[in-house]
Amino acid sequence: KFSSIHTIMVDERPKVSEEYAIVLDYLKHGYAHGKSQSPLAQAIGTEYFQLLELVPKKEVFLQPLQKVYIGNGKREEIHHTKGRIELNKLTTTARQELDHLLSDIIDENEQRFVDFFNKSQPLSMRMHTLELLPGLGKKHMWVILEERQIKPFESFQDVKERVKLLPDPKMAIIKRILKELEGQEKYRIFTK
């Protein structure tokens, strides 16, 4: 089956699974309406923002906002990844934590996201990847392209200072990630 969703890679990160995730909510007895009473955690990957269900090891109690290793090596807290979940399947607690957590992840990896402004490319003759960010139109795009030729952007603050009247770049990225997690976007910039 051919998918109409495209992933746009704007950096050189290899296409791999998540190594780490941050717990959004821990359900000690599983879902209230589920058949299984086994512990379960809802989490978000730190690299590709995959929403995941994680099964902790026996006798492990997870805390919201706890960072856990989910890669292929030896795992301390997580037995296995049950699978991906959709944004609308998150618990109320998980959904409330998501916006704040995205902000924290972006702050910790600011240069990666600033590089989006430095390295993004056109999608077609009529559209640029920059225009996929909420609130960013052609005028902003042209200023960003001109400014990055003079000197690459060094921080979100640098982007804000050099591109007048630009919506907050960090908030635009958070909004775009949330739209991609909703699954309604044709192009994926930040999620896998």
Q: Which residue has the higher pLDDT, 185 or 46?
A: 46
pLDDT of residue 3: 41
* pLDDT, mean of residues 141-165: 96
* pLDDT, mean of residues 161-177: 95
pLDDT at 10 over 90: no
Tell how strand 187-188 and strand 6-7 pair up: parallel
User: CB-based contacts of 147: which residues, under 8 Å, 6+ apart?
Assistant: 153, 162, 163
Eight-state DSSP code of residue 176: H
**How does 66-97 read in b/e, with b if 16+ C-beta sit within 10 Å?**
eebebeeeebebbeebeeeeeeeebeeebeeb
Total number of residues shown for the chain: 192
CB 162 within 8 A of CB 153: yes
56: three-class secondary structure by DSSP:
strand
pLDDT at 173 over 50: yes
User: CB-based contacts of 49: which residues, under 8 Å, 6+ apart?
Assistant: 102, 105, 177, 180, 181, 190, 191, 192
pLDDT band at 16 (very low <50, low <70, confident <90, very high): low
**What CA–CA distance (Å, rounded) separates 142 from 144?**
5
Q: What is the pTM of this model?
A: 0.85
How many helices (H) and strands (E) are present in the chain, helices listed first? 5, 7
Q: Which of 32-46, 58-72, 127-141 has the lowest mean pLDDT?
A: 32-46
The burial of 136, by beta-carbon neighbours within 10 Å (0-12 exposed, 13-18 middle, 19 or more buried), is given as buried
Share of the chain above pLDDT 70, in %: 90
CB 116 within 8 A of CB 88: no
CB count in 10 Å sphere of residue 164: 9
**pLDDT tens across 104-144, in order?**
999 999 999 999 999 999 999 999 999 999 999 999 999 99
pLDDT at 1 over 50: no
pLDDT of residue 184: 78
Strands (DSSP E) contained in 14-171 are 20-27, 40-45, 51-56, 67-69, 78-84
pLDDT at 5 over 50: no
* pLDDT, mean of residues 145-154: 97
